[in-house]
């Protein structure tokens, strides 16, 4: 479940006691030590989270954004305090991060495992700085630098992702123009050479697969897209410019895998991306890029 | 075959193909004895583009080839007829595809290292359903993890000709 983000608080007193404002009061009291501001409810100072305090997790969904992960949270903390990413105060950042995690837990919001991993990592960074500098064999990066580098990298990715989201795209800024074809008279088309070869290959492999599957396990289902992807990448990586059906068929998926591979090959044949070649009678059938189309 | 016929044939092909077409594929529209000479198709495409100036669609070139598209100015109006709002792409999917696009080939572990969260099965499923990612190879380390890269389909979706057209 994504971690919830609290809206930045700049209030020092809270009048109404509604779920979200009460939470703001808690955050304000968070900063009490730093700002000298005191949170108040109905005129009385608020120091601790009330014992019977409960916000249904769903209620927070409406008001709050959610973080993508611990990196996102860290970035938020850095920005909230106007810390310069280049001049991180690891100590302060770690404290705030841990406080935040504690806050989430006290509000009974489940914190996903990766946030704990980050908390542990930050604690480890802190400890590294406390220990005397031991010359290790590996060149260990300074923790602050390492964190800064990671944060900068993540920040950049987030920025570009947002830019990408803003770019014109299909089904939003533009639509693809299509026109339907008139109904054409049905033509008897004999199966192409390619398809005949394909079914010959499939038959051979089906027989072999049955022999290989000695034990009955519940096979995983192989999605068509993945199958097509696999075939194309095998072709690209292959040094001989062709692959054999036996190479691309994974016995793990058994008969289902063979069927999916046949479907994938049919799809690629249909798009004229590949062709099948058999050089000798009863010889191996090779799958290769369609030679008729000039690769672009 | 005169230029007008050629332009018509190309327009028909582009409208009915259901996907962008490369010039080399357009040659397949013709029998041996009527194949257009070198450069004729490109000229015809230019004519088609000019013909569309006052029309609702425009000719655009994307990674997978040429495609006819509804002009962006009219898109919002057309959207009114669409029943469901196009679901926006989640931040997780966006960040993941951004990483793959800029750092390809890249493994799942590398993606996780930058984002700090594991690549969810759902995210990869979405990306594969949209046909935006593909396996380009395997990293020669223990476990031989898959290396991912983007497809031309991904570029087509954002109306880009190549990876260099992505934002910096």
Question: Is A40 a residue whose pLDDT tops 60?
Answer: yes
Question: Are A164 and B159 in contact (CB < 8 Å)?
Answer: no
pLDDT tens string A78-95: 887 777 766 667 788 888
The answer for residues whose C-beta is within 8 angstroms of residue A170's C-beta and 6 or more apart is A176, B156, B157, B158, B159
Residue A226: asked if its preceding bond is cis (omega within 30°), the reply is: no
Q: Is B75 on the interface with A (CB under 8 A)?
A: yes
SS3 label, residue B141: coil
Q: Which of B57, B71, B129 sits opposite A225 (nearest CB)?
A: B129
A154 with B128: Cβ contact below 8 A: no
- pTM for this structure? 0.62
For the residues of B96-135, what is the DSSP string, one character each?
HHHHHHHH-SEEHHHHHHHHSS---HHHHHHHHHTT-EEE
What would the pLDDT profile of A199-231 be if each residue is shown by its tens digit? Answer: 888 887 777 777 666 555 555 677 788 888 888
How many Cβ atoms sit within 10 Å of the Cβ of residue A202? 19
**Given a cut of 50, is residue A278 above it in pLDDT?**
yes
- What is the spatial distance between Cα A42 and Cα A49, in angstroms, rounded to a whole number? 15
Q: How many A×B Cβ pairs under 8 Å? A: 124
Q: Does A182 touch chain B (CB under 8 A)?
A: no
CB neighbours of residue A49 within 10 Å: 15
Q: What pLDDT digit, counting tens, does each position of A230-269 carry?
A: 888 888 777 777 888 877 877 777 778 888 888 888 888 8
Per-residue model confidence (pLDDT) at position A125: 80
Task: Give how far B95 is from chain A: nearest CA, Å.
Answer: 5
Cα A138 off chain centre by: 31
Which pLDDT value is given to residue B50? Answer: 94
The CA-atom distances, in angstroms, between B37 and each of A220, B32, B44, B50, B127 are: 51, 11, 11, 21, 40
Cβ neighbors of A176 (< 8 A, separation 6 or more) are A170, B67, B68, B69, B70
What pLDDT sits at residue A49?
Answer: 66
Six token digits for residue A174: 């533009």
Within 10 angstroms of residue A51's Cβ, the number of other Cβ atoms is 6
Q: To which residue do tokens 């057209």 refer? A: B165
Window 217-256 of A, Cβ < 8 Å to B:
223, 225-226, 229-230, 232-233, 236-237
Res A223: pLDDT: 78
Q: Rounded distance, CA B99 to CA A155, Å? A: 12
Q: Could you read off the pLDDT of A129-162 as tens digits, one per residue?
A: 777 766 565 666 777 788 888 888 999 999 999 9
Q: Are the Cβ atoms of A161 and B129 closer than 8 angstroms?
A: no
For residue A9, the model assigns a pLDDT of 41
Q: What is the pLDDT of residues A69-82, one digit of tens each?
A: 888 888 888 887 77
Please answer whether residues A175 and B70 qualify as being in contact, where contact means their C-beta atoms are separated by less than 8 angstroms: yes
- Mean pLDDT throughout A274-285? 77
Q: Report, as an integer, the average pLDDT of A60-67.
A: 49
Inter-chain touch A160–B102, beta carbons under 8 Å:
yes
Candidates A286, A201, A200, A280; CA nearest to A235 is A286
A114 pLDDT band (50/70/90 cuts)? Answer: confident
Q: Helix B3-16 to helix B40-51 angle, to the nearest 10 degrees?
A: 80
Query: What spatial distance separates the first Cα and last Cα of chain B, rounded to whole Å?
Result: 45
Instruction: Read off the pLDDT band of A171 (50, 70, 90).
Output: confident
pLDDT in tens, A14-38: 333 344 555 555 555 454 444 556 7
What are the angstrom distances between the C-alpha of B155 and each of A7, B72, B150, B152? 36, 17, 8, 5
CA distance B78 to A175: 9
Tokens 């939003």 found at: A172
What is the distance in angstroms between the Cα of A18 and the nearest Cα belonging to chain B? Answer: 30
In this prediction, residue A6 carries a pLDDT of 47
Q: Which residues pair with A290 in a beta bridge?
A: none
Question: Across chain A, what does the average pLDDT equal?
Answer: 72
Q: Could you tell me which of A122, A9, A136, A109 has the C-alpha nearest to residue A53?
A: A109
Question: What is the model's pLDDT at position A270?
Answer: 80
Q: What is the pLDDT along chain B (168 residues), one digit of tens a residue?
A: 788 999 999 999 999 888 899 998 898 888 888 888 888 999 999 999 999 999 999 999 999 999 999 888 888 888 778 766 666 888 889 999 999 999 989 999 999 988 888 888 889 989 988 889 988 888 888 888 999 999 999 999 998 999 888 887
């Amino acid at each position: 479940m994504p971690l919830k983000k609290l809206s930045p608080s700049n209030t020092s007193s809270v009048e109404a006691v509604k779920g979200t404002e009460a939470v703001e009061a808690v955050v304000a009291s968070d900063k009490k030590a730093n700002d000298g501001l005191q949170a108040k409810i109905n005129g009385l100072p608020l120091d601790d989270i009330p014992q019977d305090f409960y916000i249904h997790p769903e209620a927070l969904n409406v008001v709050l954004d959610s973080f993508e992960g611990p990196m996102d949270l860290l970035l938020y903390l850095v920005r909230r305090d106007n810390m310069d990413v280049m001049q991180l105060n690891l100590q302060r950042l770690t404290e705030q991060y841990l406080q935040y995690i504690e806050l989430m837990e006290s509000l009974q919001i489940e914190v996903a495992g990766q946030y704990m991993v980050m908390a542990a990592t930050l604690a480890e960074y802190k400890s590294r700085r406390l220990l005397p500098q031991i010359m290790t064999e590996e060149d260990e990066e300074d923790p602050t630098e390492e964190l800064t580098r990671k944060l900068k990298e993540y920040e950049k990715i987030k920025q570009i992702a947002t830019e990408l989201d803003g770019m014109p795209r299909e089904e939003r800024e533009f639509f693809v123009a299509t026109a339907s074809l008139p109904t054409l008279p049905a033509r008897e088309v004999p199966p192409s050479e390619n398809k005949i070869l394909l079914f010959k290959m499939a038959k051979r492999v089906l027989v072999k697969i049955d022999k290989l599957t000695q034990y009955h396990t519940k096979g995983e289902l192989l999605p068509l897209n993945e199958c097509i992807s696999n075939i194309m990448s095998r072709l690209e990586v292959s040094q001989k410019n062709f692959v054999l059906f036996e190479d691309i068929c994974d016995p793990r998926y058994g008969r289902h895998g063979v069927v999916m591979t046949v479907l994938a090959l049919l799809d690629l044949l249909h798009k004229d991306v590949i062709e099948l070649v058999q050089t000798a009678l009863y010889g191996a059938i090779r799958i290769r890029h369609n030679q008729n189309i000039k690769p672009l | 075959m005169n230029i007008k016929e050629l332009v018509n044939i190309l327009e028909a092909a582009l409208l009915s193909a259901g996907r962008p077409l490369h010039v080399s594929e357009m040659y397949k529209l013709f029998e041996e004895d009527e194949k257009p000479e070198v450069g004729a198709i490109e000229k015809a495409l230019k004519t088609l583009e000019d013909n569309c100036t006052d029309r609702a669609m425009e000719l655009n070139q994307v990674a997978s080839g040429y495609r006819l598209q509804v002009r962006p100015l009219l898109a919002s109006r057309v959207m009114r007829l669409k029943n469901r709002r196009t679901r926006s792409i989640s931040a997780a999917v966006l960040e993941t595809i951004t990483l793959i696009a800029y750092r390809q080939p890249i493994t799942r572990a590398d993606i996780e290292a930058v984002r700090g969260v594991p690549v969810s099965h759902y995210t990869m499923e979405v990306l594969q359903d949209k046909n935006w990612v593909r396996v380009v190879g395997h990293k020669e380390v223990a476990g031989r993890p898959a290396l991912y890269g983007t497809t031309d389909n991904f570029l087509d979706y954002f109306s880009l000709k190549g990876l260099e057209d992505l934002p910096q």
